């Protein structure tokens, strides 16, 4: 088995501005659907309601990829603000992706991909479950109690 080499770099200011623009779009989409996303950090319950409403009703003229990115990066912002992860650029032999990174353990979540996979099958977004699992894995990694050698790898 070949091991993929990965580099994880902290997000720069330009990337953070781009990410925040997507999160702002999530607020605009929420307003258009009658689901306000108040507060400095969008809570996962509100994001899940936005997602469910959009899958059911849609929005005329709105590109699905825009909604996927907006919801994904708003969820990533939640993980950064509430779970203590950080934005990163992850590069491997297949390309470069935006992720949230938890340390120790190099826990990576690719929020736009997380949402996109559920769009294909029109699934609900398990945002609470994912955030809780990330927080638990990071806690275990910090305490050295996880079931993996050397850190979290989910």
More confident residue, 61 or 6: 6
At residue 5, what are phi and psi to the nearest 5 degrees?
-85, 130
The 10 Å Cβ neighbour count of residue 65 is 11
CA distance 66 to 21: 11
Distance CA 134, CA 81 (A): 13
Angle, helices 64-78 vs 111-120, to 10°: value is: 130
CA dihedral 35, 38, 40, 12 (to 10 degrees): 20
CA distances from 52 to 2, 20, 26, 72, 128 (A): 39, 22, 13, 14, 14
Query: What are 42-56's pLDDT values in tens digits?
Result: 899 999 999 999 998
Mean per-residue pLDDT over the chain, rounded = 89
- What does the domain layout of the chain look like in residue ranges? 7-143
Structurally, at CATH architecture level, domain 7-143 sits in Up-down Bundle (1.20)
pLDDT at 2: 63
Distance (Å) of CA 82 to CA 42, 128, 148: 10, 12, 24
Read off the pLDDT of each residue in 34-48 and give the average, rounded to a whole number: 90
Task: Read off the tokens for 31.
Answer: 């307003």
Q: How far is Cα 18 from Cα 76, in angstroms, rounded to an integer?
A: 13
Contact present, 109 and 125 (Cβ < 8 Å): no
Give residue 66's pLDDT: 94
Specify the pTM.
Answer: 0.89
DSSP state of 130: H
């Amino acid at each position: 088995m070949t091991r993929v080499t990965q580099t994880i770099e902290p997000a720069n200011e330009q990337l953070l501005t781009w990410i925040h623009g997507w999160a702002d779009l999530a607020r605009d989409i929420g307003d258009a659907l009658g689901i306000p996303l108040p507060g400095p950090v969008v809570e996962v319950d509100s994001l899940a309601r936005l997602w469910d409403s959009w899958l059911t009703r849609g929005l005329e003229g709105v590109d699905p990829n825009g909604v996927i990115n907006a919801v994904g990066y708003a969820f990533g912002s939640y993980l950064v603000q509430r779970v203590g992860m950080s934005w990163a650029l992850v590069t491997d032999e297949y390309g470069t992706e935006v992720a949230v990174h938890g340390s120790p353990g190099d826990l990576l979540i690719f929020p736009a991909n997380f949402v996109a996979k559920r769009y294909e099958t029109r699934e609900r977004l398990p945002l609470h479950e994912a955030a809780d699992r990330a927080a638990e894995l990071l806690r275990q990694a910090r305490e050295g109690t996880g079931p993996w050698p050397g850190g979290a790898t989910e």
